[in-house]
Amino acid sequence: SSAIKSLLALPGEYIKAEQKQVSCWELTGEGKSFVDNGSYEYILFNSVPKEGIFQKDLMKLPNAKIGFSKAMTLGWISIDKKAEGGPTVFRKVETAEDEVVKVLNSISEQKSVPDKVIQDVKKRKLISPVVTKFYKVTKGPGFSTTIQRPEADLTAEMLQDGSWKSKTFKDYNFAARGAPMTSGYLHPLLKVRAEYRRIFLDMGFSEMPTAQFVENGFWNFDALFQPQQHPARDAHDTFFISDPALTKEAKFPSDYLERVKTTHEKGGYGSTGYDYDWKVVEAQKNILRTHTTAVSARMLYKIAQQPEFKPVKMFSIDRVFRNETLDATHLAEFHQIEGVVADRNLNLGHLIGILHTFFKKLGIEKLKFKPAYNPYTEPSMEIFSYHEGLKKWVEIGNSGIFRPEMLLPMGLPADVNVIAWGLSLERPTMIKCGINNIRELIGPKVNLNMVQDFPICRVNKA
């Protein structure tokens, strides 16, 4: 039947095949031995002599129990239980016809036998049913005495020898998937980073040199007019370095350091200052930077040392470190995105304008601004955008104008204002991709399948 199945599977109908079945009876092994040797009752009957036989001797015959019971039922033998010497069996009839063997022979010869008789014989397990399946095979329209095997694929040889013209081809399974590509992949978060870098470059921003994770208190806090007893400078928010623990005092520009110290302690430049005792050792303490604004401060100081002020637009996207409590959306290290514009007479209107331009490139057009507080910017604004999916306003960043107490000690001209804004790289990526746990995006536990399946990043498309 496997041959027929293969023939049926060939394209171009070689044959037609109709499956049929027929049932009949077949003799079991026991049935066959009856036909060869006689039934148990017949054999037993023939073992009873004219004079009779003790039952106990008779019963020594094989299958005597069945034979005896059957012979008794058929009336072929009788038993005298009171006979002398023990129960004795006698013939009741002279001869017997082995009826059951006659029936079995009829069945063997496919002669018709009444149903009841068949059931009796079946009950004695002398016959069993047999189903025969068969095919009725006829020639199909494509019949031929030679078989042509269909090809799976077009090969170079077929092209060369032209045999493709005479071959048949198997159907292609268009419903199955194609072969997976073996390829290399870039990390999803860095794909998003590339998009943000492009946006800044498109807007004419220059990248700041941020390859410096270790910073000191001076540039991370003091130069930004963040006072020394501020909670953000606490050990439970900031990673302090035990080795190398301090920046040498000589490494700071000494007159600038003096101006920073005075501004904190007594004010000046129109400020009342904080009225506390500023300690240089706090400025010397090395930490892992808590924001890339430390680099912005360094850059602004450099710009202020130029003989002539030139306006700038600068950006950075790099790692920052916070020693906070960790949870599903917070890690000890993450990437901060920062934009800075320094020019004469900039104001909040300009900040709002550039934020609209920046976020428009991210596909975000509806923005709302909220008063906020930052130690080094005044005014400060939190930036909110309307999230269509969540149907509410979500905070997407922070911004402000740097305080005069930060800019004037550097030596920047009095009419120069510096506007700045920042956001994290991870948060918008998680929101856009529907990732709830930041460890699925960065770190060793990231599922590499996710990295490999991550699509092209189009930040401006919803």
Partner 1 sequence: MPTISVTRDVLYERLGKTFTDEDFEDECFGFGIELDDIVEENNVVKFKIDIPANRYDLLCVEGLSRAMNVFRDRMVVPKFTVVPGKEKLIVDDSVSGVRPYSVAAVLRDMKFTEESYNSFILLQDKLHQNIGRERSLVSIGTHDLDTIQGPFTYQALAPEQIKFQPLNQDSVMTAPEMFEKFRQTYLKPYLQIIEGKPLYPLITDANGVVLSLPPIINGEHSKITLDTKNVFIEVTACDRAKCRIVIDTICSMFSEYCSTPFTCESVTVESSSGSVQTPPMKYQTMECSAAQLCTKGGITGLTPDSVADHLTKMFLPSKAVGEQVTVEIGPTRHDVLHQCDVEEDLAIAYGYNNITEQVPNLNTIGAEQECNKLSDAIREELARAGFTEVLTFSLCSRDDISTSLRNGKALEEAVQIANPKSNEFQVVRTSLLPGILKTASCNRKMPLPLKLFEVSDVVFKSEDTETGSKNQRKICALFSGKTSGFEVVHGLLDRIMLSLSEKNYSIRASEESMFFTGRGADILLGTEKIGHLGILHPEVLENFEISLPCSVLEMSLEPFV
Strand order in the sheet with 77-80: 53-54, 88-91, 77-80
> Measured between alpha carbons, how far is 82 from 173 in angstroms, rounded to an integer?
87
323 binding partner 1? (CB under 8 A): yes
Instruction: Mark 300-319 with x for binding to partner 1 (rule: CB under 8 A) and - for no binding.
Output: -----------xxx-----x
List CB contacts of 435: < 8 A, sequence separation 6 or more.
Answer: 429, 441
Which of 90, 135, 164, 240: binder of partner 1 (CB under 8 A)? 240
Nearer to partner 1 (CB atom), residue 235 or residue 462: 235
Instruction: Mark 343-382 with x for binding to partner 1 (rule: CB under 8 A) and - for no binding.
Output: x-xxxxxx-xxx-xx----------xxxxxx-x--xxxx-
For the record, the structure tokens of 225 come out as: 């007019």
Listed ranges 1-9, 72-80, 85-93, 436-444: which one lies at the site for partner 1 (CB under 8 A): 436-444
Listed ranges 37-45, 61-69, 403-411, 428-436: which one lies at the site for partner 1 (CB under 8 A): 403-411
254 binding partner 1? (CB under 8 A): no
401 binding partner 1? (CB under 8 A): yes
Which of 244, 307, 389, 455: binder of partner 1 (CB under 8 A)? 244
Task: Give 340: exposed, middle or buried? Use CB within 10 Å, 0-12, 13-18, 19+.
Answer: buried
Token pair 């060369």 is at which residue?
A: 160
328 binding partner 1? (CB under 8 A): no
Token pair 């054999």 is at which residue?
A: 43
Nearer to partner 1 (CB atom), residue 169 or residue 276: 276
Query: Which of 90, 101, 99, 4 is CA-nearest to residue 45?
Result: 90
Nearer to partner 1 (CB atom), residue 178 or residue 270: 270
235 binding partner 1? (CB under 8 A): yes
Question: Interface residues for partner 1 in 410-429 (CB under 8 A)?
Answer: 417, 419
Question: Interface residues for partner 1 in 188-227 (CB under 8 A)?
Answer: 189-190, 194, 197, 200-216
Give the number of other CB atoms < 10 A from CB of residue 123.
9
Question: Interface residues for partner 1 in 161-190 (CB under 8 A)?
Answer: 182-187, 189-190
Task: Give 358: exposed, middle or buried? Use CB within 10 Å, 0-12, 13-18, 19+.
Answer: buried
288 binding partner 1? (CB under 8 A): yes
Q: Which amino acid is at 155?
A: T
Q: Phi first, then psi: what are they for 214, rounded to 5°? A: -85, 125
Question: Interface residues for partner 1 in 15-34 (CB under 8 A)?
Answer: none
Which of 54, 239, 309, 386: binder of partner 1 (CB under 8 A)? 239
Nearer to partner 1 (CB atom), residue 256 or residue 269: 269
Minimum gap (Å) between residue 443 Cβ and partner 1: 6
Helix (H, G, I), strand (E, B) or coil at 224: helix
List CB contacts of 147: < 8 A, sequence separation 6 or more.
Answer: 7, 10, 14
